[in-house]
Structure 1
């Protein structure tokens, strides 16, 4: 089979081929790339560009990689399908109150009730929080990707560069009980 063409940008590598197949070797490489990234994450983009109608990625988070809570406008759908590790998905109301928490783990986890797939179909604020050293998941998002439109950062979310505020926010999320 023809090897896929790839191009790398900051935090992402685009993999393009008529048929894309990823192996456990790719997952090991993804972990190394995430561990060496300044924000603790790296992704393989399986779509051709930001303009693609479907944005499809394999994302790896290392350590406490922080995604500010955000939402997507009506018509933009996002899903997470776990491959490795564990993470929580938190949902919030417009004021920043936590209204839901879902623990995600791969389908092979020992608990038969473990959630391995999560889909957000309405414009609610949400974020993911890693629960293991590495988290790898398949994310699919309705495109095209338009910064500040496709993903709208919550006004209550701490800025990523404010480590003290981010750490406090994550501690509060960790203390939340359903």
Structure 2
């Protein structure tokens, strides 16, 4: 039988174990779309016409203009969907963006290049925490704690609009 001291000790250990998880729960309004303003370095999680949360973001190392081809260090612009979730990301957690679409592929092919892929919203991960404002290869990055929140709120199929 557990005495009171043992019970309190076990409860405290259980509570501490839960603090270390990167997976959060969210029970608020549905995120109906994500809107990113590259020029402002802002990402908004939106329900209807209400911004539920807003975050400062980092972009690709060459942040001005639309992504043209793989390796150009630009973040794409346009309408996409969140198409996958990666709980084992090298960047803490990540949400995949449905880039490239048919237009992106055609545009890259027209200049003899590949459109690339693997564009995500992700965290910073330890090795990227001290990097400058725009450091990704074309992705959208937030702080790890913020990514935990975003990951809990956003579902596969959510539209994302990336604007200049």
TM interval, short-chain normalised: under 0.3
Please, what TM-score do these two structures have when normalized by structure 2? 0.22
Which has more strand, going by share of residues?
1
- TM score, norm. by length of structure 1: 0.21
Higher relative contact order at CA 8 Å, sep ≥6: structure 1 or structure 2?
A: 2
Q: Which has the larger radius of gyration?
A: 2
Higher helix share: 2
